[in-house]
Structure 1
Amino acid sequence: MDDKYTFKQRLLLLVASLAGPLLIRLYGATWRVRWDGVDTLARAREIKGKVLFCFWHSRLLGLCYTHRGRNIGIMVSKSFDGEWITRIVTQLGYRTFRGSASRNGAAALVTMLRDQNSGDLALTVDGPRGPARKVKPGAVTLAAHTGLPVVPITYVPSSAWRLNSWDKFLLPKPFSVVTVRYGAPIAVPLDADIAQYSALIEQCINGIG
């Protein structure tokens, strides 16, 4: 697999694999993590035992730390960026499916459908390239065909930096309070209207912060 990358890219992948998981653990360990909506999540699990977490790309790093070690399945793009992300998150206890909403997404969704019994699933519903805070159709399709309830999720830091990226990526400052919030579950029927339910998921994620 590494043969398709340049020497510089291979070096970056090696550094990401070795240092990435450790740095995330050390960085996240400085936060004071609080949880809001845990009872709501427990009720959502009563539906099928597992859930489909949906969140904005800007919250990826914080949620990657707070939900590490839970065997959650996530979609990661087939790009070079997706490769180093995969090498990091697998060491943090995630399952990965390679694809995106713009490329190879259908194949990744099929794999996620087949693998739903292995644990919870999660999607950055506006990733990997935006537009920011606009839900792409894959979330509705996946929820409808798995029957898993959609659980909106976010986190709200007491203090943070925002990167000048398309999604205004959020980086909680060290020693800040990070409050993880779960929203009410959304049941998506098999014949769901894609636009209608995408708008509903968008509204619910924004509603929790």
Structure 2
Amino acid sequence: MKIQSPALLSLVNKLIVFILRMITKTTRFEFVDDSLARCPFAETGSERFLYSVWHDSVVAPIFGASGHQTVALISQHRDADTIEEMLKAAGLGAIRGSTSRGGASAVKKLLKQAEGKHVVITPDGPRGPHHKMKPGIIFLASHSGRSVVPTAFTATRYWEFKGSWTSIWIPKPFSKIYFLVGHPIHVPEDLTREELRYYTELVQEKMEELDRKAKLVFTEKVSLAGDLIPLKKAA
């Protein structure tokens, strides 16, 4: 049942955010290989990226640490109202817009809102298919000059809640969360239709590679940057 009252919706979202924040305070973070150097919590100088995050794994980066330098791009559809309220309750910025509609003027407006911030995009949304890259993030990269950074997340123990077209996983208390952050992918300007398809498929491939690597973490077939990552948890 959809909550109609804005006040009640805000209260419910704040309660959900509080519970998720308390859970993640008990977790430990590990960054696979050199992922820490490229994550949005780290110092990246003046460069700002477009982070590609699948819908089902958004909880980990949202509540991963304090010092976020990010805003999330979310759909203009009414279904995204709840997501926007939750992001606000979690202390993150949210931009309502589209990566593929409105052309260059829409991109210019979006980037003005995100000035000085990384942008997090869920490229398989807002309605799927599950883990299927849409070209919007590539369109935005081409018009903004920002590189696309693929990501993947997993945890030693988690709950998985099924939705209509995707699920969402939430780490269990005292679990270990693994962050995998790929290398930036530069997208040239003025893409042809074929180039747009090529870079969309390239980012899809890199996201899938990180997902496969995340599954290998538990068999200790990949190296880790260290045990407890020295990041300050979100307040």
TM-score (norm 1): 0.83
Report if the CA contact (8 A) 2:99-2:140 is conserved: no
Shift of 1:111: 2.9
- Alpha-carbon shift at residue 98 of structure 1 (Å): 1.1
Q: Report the RMSD for the aligned CA atoms in angstroms.
A: 2.8
The whole-number CA distance in structure 2 between the counterparts of 1:169 and 1:81 is 16
CA distance in 2, matches of 1:176, 1:71: 25
In structure 2, give the amino acid aligned to 1:135: M
Q: CA deviation at 1:110?
A: 4.3
Q: Is the 8 A contact 1:97 1:108 kept in 2?
A: no
Which residue is 1:22 aligned to?
A: 18
State the AA in 2 paired with 1:10.
P
Counterparts of residues 29-178 of structure 1 (less than 5 Å): 29-36=25-32, 37-40=35-38, 45=44, 49-66=47-64, 69-100=67-98, 109-165=107-163, 166-178=165-177
In structure 2, the CA distance between the partners of 1:148 and 1:173, relative to structure 1 (3 Å rule), is: same
Q: What CA deviation, in whole Å up to 9, does each residue of 1:117-158 have, x standing for no partner?
A: 321111001011101111111100111111111111121111
- 1:171 corresponds to which letter in structure 2? I
Distance 2:65 2:207 in 1: 17
Contact 2:99–2:137 (8 Å) recurs in 1? no
* Residue 208 of structure 2 is aligned to residue 206 of structure 1: yes
Contact 2:3 2:9 in 1 (8 A): no
Aligned-partner SS, 2:110: helix
SS in 2 for 1:163: strand
Displacement of 1:191 after TM fit? 2.7
Match of residue 182 from structure 1? 181
Q: Is the 8 Å Cα contact of residues 72 and 93 (structure 2) preserved in structure 1? A: yes
Return closer, same or farther for 1:118/1:40 CA change in 2, 3 Å cut-off. Answer: closer
Relative to structure 1, the CA distance from residue 79 to residue 173 in structure 2 (aligned partners, 3 Å threshold; closer, same or farther) is same
Tell me, what secondary structure is at the counterpart of 2:115?
A: helix
List runs of 5+ in structure 1 lacking aligned partners.
Answer: 1-5
CA deviation vs aligned residue, 1:58-79 (integer Å, no higher than 9, x gap): 1112221115541412112234
Aligned length: 202
User: Does the CA contact (< 8 Å) of 2:157 and 2:175 recur in 1?
Assistant: yes
Percent identity over the alignment is: 26
- Secondary structure, in 3 states, of the residue corresponding to 2:14? helix
- Of Structure 1 and Structure 2, the greater helix share is in 1
- In structure 2, runs of 5+ residues without a counterpart are 212-235
Instruction: Point out the more displaced range, 31-40 or 169-178.
Output: 31-40
- Counterpart residue number, 1:3: none
